[in-house]
Amino acid sequence: MVAAVTRVGIIGAGQMGNGIGHICALAGLPVILLDAKQDALDKALGVMAKNMDRQVGKGTITAEAKLEALGRITTSTDYAKFGECDLVIEAATEKEDVKKAILRTLVPHLNADCIVATNTSSISITRLGAATDRPGKFIGMHFMNPVPVMKLVEVIRGIATDEATFQTIEALATRLNKVTAAAEDFPAFIVNRILVPMINEAVYALYEGVGTITSIDAAMKLGANHPMGPLELGDFIGLDTCLSIMQVLYEGLSDSKYRPCPLLVKYVEAGWVGRKAGRGFYDYGTTPPTPTR
């Protein structure tokens, strides 16, 4: 039986968590947004309001819909607030040990029927589900960034995920005006299995002197009709996230074609992880951004 989701909890107030909260609230769902830091929650509310203002300006939502949506969002630092949720979506950093610790903290506060979803972009759903008391009600729900704009949600079943959970999440994605792609539980699923190795290969092309940052990005934008070059896209995603995904692929599939480029590792070690840090393959302190290599 497909259950209706009536109240959503979200763990993590970063760009993915606030984007998921944004679309859930606009779809009429009460949302509880949790983070360890109150200032992150306050910042998330500001980002959501700003993004909804942009939608109002484009005429895609009304000013009244914006106010109603923001009114549906409650913030908290207390996991006990999730007790009445039908679904809790974990959207924390892309590190397995962090996600497992969050899930172990979460499950004692949930009702028996609550579904738990993870927004992981690469980590095994089966392993994460096994860290909970409800692997049958655990599923991957991988939104794309920026969540309010991108249409796709990858839906990933672990080996123990039951059919009712899958159908419930499919129905919710439709309510959120998203299109789903069902993926099997293999490292990085569909999108990142294809996309992030391309970014890693672009970093290898830079590392080996095949092209410059500018020429590599221009080649893929103009030669393959990509809206962003791969190095620019890596900066947008976060080079730390790209490296984490490559490590999951390399360790999970034991294939040398997924070896992270040493230059990608160096950028992450330097803290030059892209737009969110102000510097990656481009320096975002200038207009337009200038290549850093």
As a whole number of angstroms, the distance between CA 30 and CA 73 comes to 6
**121, 122, 200, 244: the active-site residue:** 121
Q: Vertex 264, ends 263 and 268: CA angle to 5°?
A: 115
**51, 119, 122, 192: the active-site residue:** 192
Backbone φ, ψ for residue 149 (5° rounding): -100, -45
216 near 206, Cβ under 8 Å? yes
Output the CA–CA distances (angstroms, integers) from residue 90 to 138, 164, 192, 193, 262, in the order listed.
11, 20, 18, 21, 30
How many other CB atoms sit within 10 Å of the CB of residue 259? 14
| 109 is an active site residue | no
What are the residues whose beta carbons fall under 8 Å from the beta carbon of 32, sequence distance 6 or more?
7, 8, 9, 10, 74, 75, 76, 81, 82, 85
| 121 is an active site residue | yes
| 18 is an active site residue | no
**18, 119, 142, 200: the active-site residue:** 142
**Helix, strand, coil % in the chain, rounded to nearest 5:** 50, 15, 35
| 192 is an active site residue | yes
**90, 94, 154, 232: the active-site residue:** 154
Catalytically active residues, by annotation: 121, 142, 154, 192
